């Protein structure tokens, strides 16, 4: 009887340790949680939203236009932004309209803020050439912008500029909290 209890306890301990090891592997290599700090991605993401980040997505595929990503902006800070330009793309903003490779691009996630504007534009006019001296997004780089264009520190800022794809932590898979905004 005593031997059976010891075996049962040992089996439970093995299962718990194995579960913890699997959870650590998933957290370190596959998925991670992230809390939004700031308002640069409003109205899409709010300050304090909890998100799950897919860390392996870009190991097997490339980012897409419109993906929301987390990247290392500085050695101590990660930023959450939307991918606007991929390698080879030309990017221009004119009269509050995004043009990618010379074609207008719909950005429905900006509609709320555009409606709330009393005057002026949500996104100031620019070209890649004027901001960076380059006409296209370089190989291995991304052009990212926050959805709250009036306050976002993003690729338009010289200290961020093009984001190296090696600095991308992962793609935002879904928002966990608040539960009323689960997407």
Question: Mind listing the pLDDT tens digit for each residue in 89-98?
Answer: 999 999 999 9
Residues spanned by the domain of 168? 31-176
Instruction: Point out the catalytic residue in the list 55, 81, 141, 171.
Output: 81
In a domain, 26, yes or no: no
Chain segment 119-157, per-residue pLDDT in tens: 788 899 999 999 999 999 999 999 999 999 989 999 999
Q: How far is CA 85 from CA 17, 106, 156, in A?
A: 44, 14, 12
Say if residue 179's pLDDT is above 50: no
- Residue 135 is part of a domain; what is its CATH number? 2.10.109.10
Per-residue pLDDT band at 99 (split at 50, 70, 90): very high
In a domain, 160, yes or no: yes
CB 151 within 8 A of CB 157: no
In a domain, 14, yes or no: no
For residue 182, the model assigns a pLDDT of 43
CB 68 within 8 A of CB 41: yes
User: Annotated catalytic, 40?
Assistant: yes
Coil vs helix vs strand at 118: coil
- The count of domains in the chain is 1
User: Annotated catalytic, 157?
Assistant: no
In a domain, 141, yes or no: yes
Tokens representing 29 are 């290599």
Among the ranges 30-39, 80-89, 114-123, which has the highest mean pLDDT value?
A: 80-89
Backbone angles phi, psi at 63, to 5 degrees: -60, 155
In a domain, 59, yes or no: yes
In a domain, 124, yes or no: yes
In a domain, 108, yes or no: yes
In a domain, 7, yes or no: no
Instruction: Point out the catalytic residue in the list 40, 55, 152, 155.
Output: 40
Is the peptide bond between 43 and the residue preceding it cis, with omega within 30 degrees of 0? yes
Its pTM surpasses 0.95: no
């Amino acid at each position: 009887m005593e031997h059976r209890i010891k075996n049962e306890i040992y089996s439970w301990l093995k299962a718990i340790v194995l579960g913890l090891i699997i959870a650590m592997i998933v957290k370190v290599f596959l998925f991670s949680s992230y809390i939004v700090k700031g308002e640069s991605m409003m109205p899409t993401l709010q300050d304090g939203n909890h998100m799950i980040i897919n860390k392996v997505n870009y190991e097997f595929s490339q980012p897409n236009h419109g993906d929301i990503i987390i990247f290392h902006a500085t050695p101590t800070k990660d930023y959450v932004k939307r991918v606007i330009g991929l390698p080879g793309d030309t990017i221009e903003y004119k009269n509050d309209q995004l043009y990618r490779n010379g074609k207008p691009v719909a950005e429905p996630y900006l509609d709320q803020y555009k409606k709330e504007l009393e005057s002026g534009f949500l996104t100031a006019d620019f070209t890649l050439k004027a901001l960076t001296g380059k006409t296209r997004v370089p190989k291995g780089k991304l052009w990212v912008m926050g959805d709250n264009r009036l306050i976002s520190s993003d690729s338009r800022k010289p200290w961020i500029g093009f984001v190296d794809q090696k600095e991308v932590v992962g793609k935002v898979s879904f928002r966990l909290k608040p539960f009323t905004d689960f997407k």
